[in-house]
Chains A and B, each alone.
Chain A
Amino acid sequence: MDLGLDRLRNMILDMAELSSNTVNVAIDSYVQGRDLRESVYGWSEELRILQDEVSELSVELLARYQPVASDLRFIKSCMEVAYGFSRLGRYAHDITDVLGIFGDLSKCDKTQIELAGKQAEDMIRLSIKAFADRDVKLASKVKEMDDLVDNMYISFVKKAAHEQTADIKCTVSATLILRYVERIADHATYIGESVLYIVTGERTPRK
């Protein structure tokens, strides 16, 4: 059982590293106008496969050992966290797709996306550290950071709705990407919540 739990933890940490890099590359590729769809798609597929492997191992551990208490909470959370990481890969892929759909976006203002992207990347990094160290304080901090990304997205959309002179291509592409970044931040928050659940057994009601 302990060997299985260690293996599960290592698989999650592998997924963590891969998904974090995938998101970073996707956001950078948008900011720098580089088409990295193929690479990012490959990594997102890899994450999806890893998620399946985590699910399979989790189910095997549940069936073979019928764990309870913190072991049960850990396995249940690993399945959720693995799903979260695979979603990060998918959103990263969606971000790189925007460039393919809209073409050259070099003239667009990317400040907001850079800021929100940086915040989301920090959230992923902290949620991974919180998971690795079972750090409840860090997990709670990730949750607090999510409000900033939410507000950036909402303010941008509200502003765009009333902007008469804006470049429609820039506005729509940035809205889409900010939406993906906002969802990425949400999943980092969920990973933080899973850490809280593993350690304390308390479930956080979702917004």
Chain B
Amino acid sequence: MTVGIQLEKPKPEKQIQHALPVAALEKDKIETEKLNAFYGKNHAIKDLSIKIRDKSITAIIGPSGCGKSTFIRCLNRMHELVPGARASGKVFLDGNDMYAKGVDPVLVRRRVGMVFQKPNPFPTMSVYDNVAAGLKLNGVRNRDRLDQAVKKSLDAAALWEEVKDDLWKPGVSLSGGQQQRLCIARALAVEPEAILMDEPCSALDPSATAKIEGLMTNLKEEYAVVIVTHNMQQAARVSDYTAFFYLGELIEYSETTTLFENPSQELTERYLTGKFG
């Protein structure tokens, strides 16, 4: 009887094979084609082709240094902000190449928001101004419009009820979990099309983590959400699809339940069961 676990990684085929969960129903939001990323001579992402579904949560898991964070930073062109860093290949958002000549990286970052590991509200700004900052930078001055956007974003980030009477307090006076939701509200205010989250709960306690995870589930109604996490249980809890990265390569990508119950690659199995990493 054939055993369902392959002992060796499949050799990459010449033709581009986009990894894609089979039973996916939503359309693709983000797609990479032979994406490579470097830090100087260090080749961090290798020929990575993947399709990320809209209105779903996709988790990226893998051991430290496997390229998870680098990968999502390539998706909104933040990778190139690191000195000495470069990327090649293609990243499509709704079919348009975000690395094509003439594309403004600032606009890309507006369309694809990012939430970081450590909550990083602008330290000198109030709760209100933190959320409104992106809109103000984009030239929005109308007070009513700003008010509406701030309320809508804080609502969507499940924070409005907790801060509606403290909008003018400094953003940094909130608890860690609230600050992270404030950062999510700030990302949502500029009406992005996808949200990237890089270890968004690793600095939070279980209760704040539960709130952010609940929020992610709400966010996927509207957005493509990509989350990088070291916490496999979190990936298992919240995501619809999971991709396992190892040494800059995509090893396995499938529906989360399948990947966690019955991974097809030996490497995935070994990582998930704590045999390495």
Contact = CB atoms under 8 A, between A and B. Distances in A.
Interface in A159-207: 196, 199-202
B1 A69 contact: no
Contacts of A202: 4, 262
B274 interface: yes
Interface stretch (A37-45, A70-78, A85-93): A70-78
B: interface residue count bin: 10 to 19
B266 to A, nearest CB: 10
Interface in B1-57: 1-5
Contacts of B1: 136-137, 140, 196, 200
A66 interface: yes
B262 A201 contact: yes
A153 to B, nearest CB: 27
Q: A interface, by DSSP: helix, strand, loop or mixed?
A: helix
A191 B262 CA distance: 19
Interface in B220-277: 232-233, 236, 260-263, 268-269, 272-274
Interface in A1-33: 1
A9 to B, nearest CB: 15
Contact of A66 (B4, B233, B261, B269): B233
A100 interface: no
Contact of B4 (A1, A71, A72, A201): A201
17 contacts: A1-B274, A66-B233, A66-B236, A68-B236, A68-B272, A69-B263, A69-B272, A69-B273, A70-B269, A72-B260, A136-B3, A140-B1, A196-B1, A199-B3, A200-B1, A200-B4, A201-B262
Q: What are the 4 A-B residue pairs with the smallest beta carbon separation, nearest first?
A: A201-B262, A69-B272, A68-B260, A200-B4
